Structure 1
């Protein structure tokens, strides 16, 4: 079966109204017409890494929610008929009533196609500050812990493969070694590396790879959990930490997690600033990669650093990590260490060795309409020609502004 093509994950929060140009910069006048398809799920407020083009010609995606009474919903989109079909919600699938349990509010992992199935992990979305809420209201049981699951593309059936059995610990990212049929995941907020072999049917816990993870106190102990695992066609697995370290997993070793000594993601930011300070604020600046992918054309990984949105190339076979260029929208200053618009997850490899990225940019105000915190631009980078292009803002024909992705 042909592997899926991951396409840009666009979750649009919309503000209705006639669009007015408020600025005179040329970039502001570049508009990408955008069509909207409404899943009719008002409680849905987030999507992360899982808008996936599967081998059946359909698109699959999820909508999460931060409503403690509502679970994640999964959908199929037929691009020919232009129809969205709901295919399940996790409370029904897992038999956990939201009235009795804090639901599985997110699927934060990719939907990974293999052998006629889409594989994924489940996650919580019920927080107290930046941590899971350990004491749910109304006497309900806490979030029961993340599951590895799969969805059969032919039968439409879900299968529960394994559960963490760690209350309040979700699976925030996952990758699949298709050669050994092994699923890998990172948990949140602890940052445990876990694996599940599809043949053996055994879930393994390899321990924490990011010190205290997001349980740590801000700012010194806190270690932002990596949101995307990197895996190459040979099954070599890599991750990054908030301290800038890169680790490699070798399952045949007694201590399987090894950290590179001379590679560090903190060096990727475009500039150094003597007066730069990191306040005690979660997500202010993180040194992990925010997102990363394997490029078969260059036989290397390409990714974006979380704090700076700096594009980089990582080639484990030669031990090379290089900073390429900022991949920010044209109106965002490229010569600052921190990207004030933050780095997002809509990142893919397209035709002609071209990277595509959905970037946040400053908001464009519209008289008489609600303020929004940002706009969304489509960025491309042609690797072979070293060519960066900001194609402009996403907006609809009737003037609704897309401001979050």
Structure 2
């Protein structure tokens, strides 16, 4: 009996020690307060946050950045919704201008830079930024790669929940394994599903008459296409990749981001006003051309809608519009000899001639020109403001030099200044132009 007392004492001591330190262990495992608010991270807790949460979306911002200021309230709205998901997505932000070492480690070269860390692995985010669309976009990261739909009701519920911002793919008579790898690859750009059970009414509604079939739908543009195979990796991926964009893409700040990873050349039609009746009719003709030329991206922009962007392609007051060019998405574009402008009569024939001459190499290669490096991509007004700011700064410098020197400025100073202001527009990289979401 006396020998059992020390053993009991040791056991009691170990139990007490375990109870004492266990709260400390739990606290150290997750030191962050998850209350639906955007977490503030810095160099002391960033790595801990990334390892603590399976899904964490980080805004690398600068306090002086206008885009960052507009984004902040959207993140505040989205944070509680995303934190309340079955698989929570935590929103966080880092003052990258203050914590430069942390920003450098994660290759932050502009503001805001948005990244989602999935199990510690970062992916840069180029999607929409309004709170509702941000929630919809990020939810895809925690949803099944391929949704399984087992009834007509499940199909309609899936389509309704998907919203209108992203393309939707529904496979009928397909095994999910046939598209699962591609669904993972393009998950951030689209929603994927397979319907296991469906009625004849669904076939009529989606306008397909045999299976297997893969339907690609763009609800926002009221467009749909059908793929009947062959369901081999190359052909299937080509179809999915070419169906991520609508037949004819309106060019604006958001759509430029969607072009980032697309390697196809862009057939750009520049109009006076993309909403008038003539332009609307022309867009219908462009859709027909796009359907027959899937190896190209067809797009359009109105001078009234985005003048700075349009003028980068040598569009002036006397330029006959609509005007067509082929853009590489970076700093180069091509005009087709004798086929730049589209007449009102028989535009279909003219567009066909334009494409034929382009493919035959009857082109002139040019470089984009513009007032700033990335102003027209960052915002519709940003380029002008930057240009005006630089001009004001230049005037101030000239005035200071004039006051400080006894001799007047020599002839040629203005010529040099004008030359620098009219230098060719040379973007830093294709990725920066297409990202369209950073304010340097």
Structure in which a larger fraction of residues adopt helix: 2
Question: What TM-score do you get using the length of structure 2 for normalisation?
Answer: 0.28
Structure in which a larger fraction of residues adopt strand: 1
More RCO (CA 8 Å, sep 6+)? 1
Question: What TM-score do you get using the length of structure 1 for normalisation?
Answer: 0.30
